[in-house]
Structure 1
Amino acid sequence: MRKISILFLLVFSFLQAQQKITLEDIFTDATFSENSLEAFHSMQNGDFFTLLNYYRNGISLDKFDYATLSKIETIVSSEDLGLPSFDNYVFNRDETKVIIGTDTESVFRHSELGIFYVYEIATKKIEKISDHKIQEPTFSPDGSKVAYALNNNLFVKDLSGGKTTQITKDGERNKIINGITDWVYEEEFSFVRAFEWNGNSDKIAFIRFDETDVPEFSMDIYGDQLYPDQLTFKYPKAGENNSLVSLHLYDLSSNQLKKVALGEDQQYYLPRIQWTNEPNTLSVTTLNRHQNNLNLIFVDGKSLKSKVILNEKDNAYVDINDELTFLGDNSFIWMSERDGFYHLYHYNSQGKLINQITKGDWEVTNYYGFDEKSKTVFYQSTEEGSVNRSVYSIKINGSDKRKLSEKVGTNDAFFSNSFNYYVNEFSNVNSATSYTLNDAKSGIILKSIVDNSELEKKNLDYKIPNKEISELKTKNGTYNMFIMKPIDFDPSKKYPLLMYQYSGPGSQSVSNSWFNYRDYYHAMLVQNGFIVAVVDGRGTGFKGRDFKKVTYKELGKYEIADQIEAALELGKLNYIDQNRIGIWGWSYGGYMSSLAITKGADVFKMAIAVAPVTSWRFYDAVYTERYMQTPQENANGYDQNSPLNFAHLLKGDYLLIHGSGDDNVHVQNSMRMVNALIKENKDFDFFIYPDRSHGINEGENTRLHLFEKMTKFIRESLGKTEGFSSTNP
């Protein structure tokens, strides 16, 4: 019996040693999923927070005490509502009511339609807001009303009597939108709800979009019927007409709707509106078409007179962010990179600079809030290196800065309303995500909330290779990099190298954080004999204005030069086979990998481009013109770095993949690349995923199928020698 037991243990140990990641582990079995806090929300009244908890037959919204982390009560459950589940929730200001969303469906990337209810916590009364699927239901500050959008018009429902008032009546699909952003604003300015209640709950400001002259884009939707459907929507490509936007104000007390004329201060874009703490003063952010001149304007809600309070200019472009916070005296905190790095500034209510709150050759990456009692600002920054994120506090006058987060890596924070506590979310390349309760004054960890130690153990069981973060020196500069090598790495062997990158303006692919799904995919390849490297070259973010904006008017030029130089430097390493270097990327990364296999054909043997831009002439006006101006102004910038114009240089193996239902980067990009390659009589591989969007993730097994296809292509192209198999892992 003892011999059998020993033999069993030896066999078991051998099997454990051979345990490898499969694509099913990553894309269907959720083997490496993390525990997290679902829909975390700090409550306004007291040191409490809420979470969504899923149980066998439903879902509940539960209230917890910050100090003890104990559950205080279940606020509402799907069982209470008589619903199988719900998707989201939002409280009114005094947290006596909550809007519950069900049966939601996506419109575009951020927008959705759904059936919504108002639940009154004390009485447990539930009321459907509308029988129709609506968008963006939002409580008035006093909780007595809900405003929402339906069929491109705005409505207000009075919760006391149930009366619904239609504010606008000219909404029409592909023509007029009231209070909800058009496609390009949603995608590039990252917001959907374009209406805002004032503090007195008696006025609603909103943006109206006139899409009449915006060119229309159409996509065939193949579905499962005899004939395909066609989806048409307004999509302004670079240099084409955008929506005409205008600002409007609805007064509930007088039932009057007025247009706000900004006069000579009116600019091309209206990317933000926000009421100040003075209930009759509206702040409006405007941008010129080049997006290098930004105005912050205050509008008087009674007289409708306007005044420019603050102006930002840049020789390249000014980014839009959400770090505008009005304090009790209506002074405000503003974030700007005017000194070369993103920092926080304090202005008085008339737009006069009081002081710069943060300073240094590092960037503020998140603003968490301001504690009026202690005059303290809480923020996240790159002060411990551009690949790291740390949490700090500082007095609003710039004194008494304190580091609150304890460990070096990626820290994020969720503060209680009193700023007595915060929940710290932490991970790094060696530590899976954990959540701890911390004291907001000292940063001291009070309690552990959630850890993922079992996942860390699983990584060890699967012998997941490490992400080794370093800096790569090239003739063009020094760049952040991480590299993944096999556990049994042998420096005397020659390994094929696969590079991954995104490279878009202000992006970051190299960070001191735990594994995402892409890292696990790369780890699977490493387990099968590859080395994987990721390099953030010029144009990427969090290293200052000049590093990011060097690509202005020449997207692709510096980024591909840096990827080529990175590959050349890595190819000099004794253990890298310089004849077997491949690259892949998605979206902007697909654009880069398409340039790599053409402009860099002497360096890269293989490239995979998923949903790539192949000409910036095909992409949307807001994003593209921010970095390139218009094609009419900058034709050379558009054409000199388009893969379409370098198809004749293709030498290696090229796989082009796209979803036919991609409303963001249209399949037109890949079709034009295909034609350019055919014209040059080049051999390549091409695959279309019918009706899939930019993420190519709709439908059962779609992601599994995609990555199986990519894996086979990588191994057949880079793994042909030294006994590498071409079969899937």
Structure 2
Amino acid sequence: MYRTEDMYELHSLKKSNQYTVLNYDQSGQSTQIDLYDFATLQKTATIIDSKQQKIPTIDAYTFDLEEKILLLACNSTPIYRHSFTADYYLYDISKKELTRLFDFQIQEPTFSPDGKKIAFARENNLYVYDIASKTTVQITADGQKNTIINGICDWVYEEEFAFVRAFDWSADSKKIAYIRFDESEVPEFSMTVFNQQLYPEVTTFKYPKAGEKNSRVSLHLYDIASKGIKTVDLSNYSDFYIARIKWTNDANVLSAQVLNRHQDNLDLLFIDGNSAAKKVVLNEKDKAYIDVTDNLTFLKDNSFIWTSEKDGFNHIYYYDKTGKLKNQLTKGNWEVTQFYGIDEKTNTAFYQSTENGSINRGVYKIALNGKNKIALSNETGTNEATFSPDFDYYIRTFSSAKQSTAYTLNEVKSGKELKVIENNAALASRLKEYNLPAKEFFVLKTEKGIELNAWIIKPKDFDAAKKYPVFMTQYSGPGSQQVANQWNSLDDYWCLMLSQQGYIVVCVDGRGTGFKGAEFKKVTQLQLGKYEVEDQIDAAKVIGNYPYVDKSRIGIFGWSYGGFMASNCILKGNDIFKMAIAVAPVTNWRFYDSVYTERYMHTPQENPSGYDDNSPINFAGQLKGKYLLIHGSADDNVHVQNSMEMMNALIKANKQFDSQIYPDCNHGIYGGMTRIQLFNKMTNFIKENL
């Protein structure tokens, strides 16, 4: 009821000045892929209707390079956060012919550039399907659950490097590069899944915790014609990650990003597709860590775009095909937050940044020589863009704390708005009757002189002569941002409801959070939870001194990293916080995965004090206030072990606390009435204890 109307699965087509959107027809219980014209926004056709074709609702879709065939995913079955298997259908758009690919589910099917074949993964092996002959060739045969994975990421890569498909087609469709994961020596984690069965099941998967063994990765090149496989020699690296692979525009050159285990040294390799010989084209070092992105973009001549924080802020760099720097496109004490692409006709780059303040996002264009920068968005808030293939038009998505999400068609030349697609006016008028308070943004200065972005929501009938309790919400994880000038999330509605109950709600982004430069973000290196906790405690002290705040009634809440923070705050700030709610918290970084944890902490063997000095488990005896601990029993990400060990520590310290376990729920804790029950529980706890 309070969700914005969105443009789902928006694809900008390359071959025509059009875009497609996946539309869901609730009354007919069907999905359609509709085609629209960029210049007029008029719907020109329905490409496919799931009801007419008698197939299940479409979850996702991809086009072949010529945009003549569609690959449709239906009946998706989630695996982890991003990965899933699905039933796939091929749809020939001109012939209007639909073919079910297989009578089993597969993963990550991907068209070859010539549109003749589809590579896919099934049960840890890679295959190639020939569309014309309807025959399948198996590329690998050693795939085995919890042992060997070919072409699909293991759990920790998927979660922390944020990709699933670890294979890629060469531009001439003659080769497939893929990463092989040998996870045979990675320790296993087991979870009990109750599933309302007489005998619960045990799910076991490979999960490398901090300091433990990772998958051994190797990089391979498969030749379609000869069916031969070459291995890229990476023996000069030890204990490393292959964080990205991508074929360049030269059909014989593969790029790979190899990262050391500390993640502070990255090599961009160019690999010869025939000989598998490699060379380092670019090396990036950082005294803390390097963020891996998808911004690497190749131009026709194989020169490339790269983003880096090497001057203290994230900016765009342009290199020739040998890795020689041609130009730094963007400069300044602000961050590039998204790279959209290059118009090679005009040698113009398009990007999103924080030039208009770290809580805002603007869309810009700039020439490859770093000149003629033009802002394509002028409203203050969060601007995003989807560009037409010829870069003449873009669909702008805009929202702010005051303005619900709006989609408009804009002209690239001037940035001028041509037409409103969707402005969510119906939602705005529906919310008016609730007379909701406004979110006010401000900069909070701590006693130490540190300036932090913050927002505050005061009750609508706020009276400065009264004293109000304060409820602080935060996440605080490295590079994150909660104080952002954008439209309400579901949690925001909860915060607004709490303000209606007479609470002041505050959110503060402490040190370690993102978009204010590398120094601000990376100050927490090797001691997660030190400065972030200091900043929340110091912020609570400042807020407690506001004349309209009752400093004896300050509470704090957080989920995941935020739960780690809320737990530390109620313990280390036991004279400041009256209550805390921690949902799915990390309680000791030794329990969390290797890639994320070691990026910021190195290993427990190298940095034991960094792990122990800020683990809430070690400070359980300091609990004074009211503490509610919540976890899903089937959380594959932050294991319920974290909360169990926290409970153990509190029990040993003879401390009373409240807890709630959600059976068979993962890190998101949802499904059915779960979220409603959870938020009612938290609301009641706040009312009773704050």
Q: Specify if TM > 0.5.
A: yes
The superposition leaves residues 112-143 of structure 1 with CA deviations (integer Å, 9 ceiling, x where unpaired) of 01110111111122222222111000000011
Match of residue 389, structure 2, among 406, 417, 430: 417
**Structure 1 equivalent of residue 4 of structure 2:** 34
Q: CA deviation at 1:264?
A: 2.0
For residues 347 and 34 of structure 1, what CA distance do their matches in structure 2 show? Answer: 40
SS of 2:89's partner is: strand
Q: Could you tell me whether the CA contact under 8 Å between 1:220 and 1:228 is conserved in 2? A: yes
The superposition leaves residues 682-719 of structure 1 with CA deviations (integer Å, 9 ceiling, x where unpaired) of 01001100000000013x1000000000000000001x
Match of residue 316, structure 1, among 288, 296, 305: 288
Q: Could you tell me whether the CA contact under 8 Å between 1:265 and 1:308 is conserved in 2? A: no
For residues 497 and 232 of structure 2, what CA distance do their matches in structure 1 show? Answer: 57
SS of 2:404's partner is: strand
Match of residue 54, structure 2, among 65, 82, 86: 82
Q: CA deviation at 1:197?
A: 0.3
**Structure 2 equivalent of residue 25 of structure 1:** none
SS of 1:598's partner is: helix
**Structure 2 equivalent of residue 635 of structure 1:** 608
For residues 181 and 624 of structure 2, what CA distance do their matches in structure 1 show? Answer: 47
Match of residue 24, structure 2, among 54, 74, 93: 54
For residues 129 and 306 of structure 1, what CA distance do their matches in structure 2 show? Answer: 37
SS of 1:669's partner is: helix
For residues 214 and 92 of structure 1, what CA distance do their matches in structure 2 show? Answer: 37
Does 1:398 find its partner at 2:364?
A: no
What is the TM-score with the length of structure 2 in the denominator? 0.99
Q: CA deviation at 1:669?
A: 0.2
**Structure 2 equivalent of residue 593 of structure 1:** 566
**Structure 1 equivalent of residue 131 of structure 2:** 159
SS of 1:76's partner is: strand
Match of residue 374, structure 1, among 332, 336, 346: 346
For residues 468 and 163 of structure 2, what CA distance do their matches in structure 1 show? Answer: 45
Match of residue 482, structure 2, among 496, 509, 519: 509
**Structure 1 equivalent of residue 80 of structure 2:** 108
Q: Could you tell me whether the CA contact under 8 Å between 2:382 and 2:485 is conserved in 1? A: yes
**Structure 2 equivalent of residue 434 of structure 1:** 406
Match of residue 606, structure 1, among 563, 579, 585: 579
Q: CA deviation at 1:463?
A: 1.2
What is the TM-score with the length of structure 1 in the denominator? 0.94
SS of 1:469's partner is: strand
**Structure 2 equivalent of residue 18 of structure 1:** none
Q: Could you tell me whether the CA contact under 8 Å between 2:56 and 2:75 is conserved in 1? A: no
Q: Could you tell me whether the CA contact under 8 Å between 2:447 and 2:542 is conserved in 1? A: no
Q: Could you tell me whether the CA contact under 8 Å between 1:129 and 1:157 is conserved in 2? A: no
The superposition leaves residues 352-378 of structure 1 with CA deviations (integer Å, 9 ceiling, x where unpaired) of 000100000000000011000010000
For residues 167 and 327 of structure 1, what CA distance do their matches in structure 2 show? Answer: 30
For residues 299 and 358 of structure 1, what CA distance do their matches in structure 2 show? Answer: 29
Does 1:615 find its partner at 2:588?
A: yes
For residues 93 and 635 of structure 2, what CA distance do their matches in structure 1 show? Answer: 41
RMSD across aligned positions (CA): 0.8
Letter in 2 for 1:576: V
Q: CA deviation at 1:33?
A: 1.2
Letter in 1 for 2:644: M
For residues 534 and 459 of structure 1, what CA distance do their matches in structure 2 show? Answer: 22
Share of identical aligned residues, percent? 57
Q: CA deviation at 1:32?
A: 1.1
For residues 459 and 229 of structure 1, what CA distance do their matches in structure 2 show? Answer: 45
Counterparts of residues 466-545 of structure 1 (less than 5 Å): 466-476=438-448, 477-545=450-518
Q: CA deviation at 1:54?
A: 1.7
For residues 362 and 343 of structure 1, what CA distance do their matches in structure 2 show? Answer: 8
Match of residue 45, structure 2, among 65, 73, 92: 73
For residues 553 and 475 of structure 1, what CA distance do their matches in structure 2 show? Answer: 24
For residues 209 and 711 of structure 1, what CA distance do their matches in structure 2 show? Answer: 44
For residues 424 and 98 of structure 2, what CA distance do their matches in structure 1 show? Answer: 37
Q: Could you tell me whether the CA contact under 8 Å between 1:266 and 1:286 is conserved in 2? A: no
For residues 345 and 80 of structure 1, what CA distance do their matches in structure 2 show? Answer: 48
Letter in 2 for 1:644: I
SS of 1:432's partner is: coil
For residues 195 and 131 of structure 1, what CA distance do their matches in structure 2 show? Answer: 23
For residues 461 and 43 of structure 1, what CA distance do their matches in structure 2 show? Answer: 41
For residues 318 and 230 of structure 2, what CA distance do their matches in structure 1 show? Answer: 32
The superposition leaves residues 372-409 of structure 1 with CA deviations (integer Å, 9 ceiling, x where unpaired) of 00100000000000000000000011000000002010
SS of 2:290's partner is: coil
Q: CA deviation at 1:623?
A: 0.2
Q: Could you tell me whether the CA contact under 8 Å between 1:657 and 1:688 is conserved in 2? A: yes
For residues 642 and 62 of structure 1, what CA distance do their matches in structure 2 show? Answer: 51
Match of residue 210, structure 1, among 161, 168, 182: 182
For residues 92 and 52 of structure 2, what CA distance do their matches in structure 1 show? Answer: 12
The superposition leaves residues 212-233 of structure 1 with CA deviations (integer Å, 9 ceiling, x where unpaired) of 0000000000001111000000
The superposition leaves residues 294-352 of structure 1 with CA deviations (integer Å, 9 ceiling, x where unpaired) of 00000000111100000000111111011000001100000000000000000000000
Q: CA deviation at 1:79?
A: 2.8
The superposition leaves residues 126-165 of structure 1 with CA deviations (integer Å, 9 ceiling, x where unpaired) of 2222221110000000110001000100000000101100
**Structure 2 equivalent of residue 9 of structure 1:** none
User: Where in structure 1 are there 5+ consecutive unaligned residues?
Assistant: 1-30, 719-729
Number of aligned residues: 687
**Structure 1 equivalent of residue 254 of structure 2:** 282
The superposition leaves residues 422-442 of structure 1 with CA deviations (integer Å, 9 ceiling, x where unpaired) of 000001111111000000111
Q: CA deviation at 1:285?
A: 0.2
Q: CA deviation at 1:459?
A: 2.4
Q: CA deviation at 1:453?
A: 1.8
**Structure 2 equivalent of residue 44 of structure 1:** 14
**Structure 1 equivalent of residue 162 of structure 2:** 190
Match of residue 620, structure 2, among 641, 647, 656: 647
For residues 352 and 266 of structure 1, what CA distance do their matches in structure 2 show? Answer: 27
Q: Could you tell me whether the CA contact under 8 Å between 2:353 and 2:362 is conserved in 1? A: yes
Does 1:671 find its partner at 2:644?
A: yes
Letter in 2 for 1:424: R
Q: Could you tell me whether the CA contact under 8 Å between 2:340 and 2:352 is conserved in 1? A: yes
For residues 81 and 419 of structure 2, what CA distance do their matches in structure 1 show? Answer: 36
Q: Could you tell me whether the CA contact under 8 Å between 1:153 and 1:170 is conserved in 2? A: yes
For residues 572 and 186 of structure 2, what CA distance do their matches in structure 1 show? Answer: 34
SS of 1:81's partner is: coil
Q: Could you tell me whether the CA contact under 8 Å between 2:564 and 2:585 is conserved in 1? A: yes
Letter in 2 for 1:194: A
Q: Could you tell me whether the CA contact under 8 Å between 2:124 and 2:143 is conserved in 1? A: yes
**Structure 1 equivalent of residue 119 of structure 2:** 147
**Structure 2 equivalent of residue 5 of structure 1:** none
Match of residue 655, structure 2, among 682, 685, 693: 682
User: Where in structure 2 are there 5+ consecutive unaligned residues?
Assistant: none
Counterparts of residues 133-144 of structure 1 (less than 5 Å): 133-144=105-116
Does 1:568 find its partner at 2:541?
A: yes
SS of 2:499's partner is: helix
Q: Could you tell me whether the CA contact under 8 Å between 1:267 and 1:286 is conserved in 2? A: no
For residues 301 and 259 of structure 1, what CA distance do their matches in structure 2 show? Answer: 11
Greater relative contact order structure (CA < 8 Å, 6+ sep): 1
Q: Could you tell me whether the CA contact under 8 Å between 2:633 and 2:665 is conserved in 1? A: yes
Does 1:552 find its partner at 2:522?
A: no
Q: Could you tell me whether the CA contact under 8 Å between 1:203 and 1:250 is conserved in 2? A: yes
For residues 134 and 46 of structure 1, what CA distance do their matches in structure 2 show? Answer: 30
**Structure 2 equivalent of residue 713 of structure 1:** 685
Letter in 1 for 2:653: E
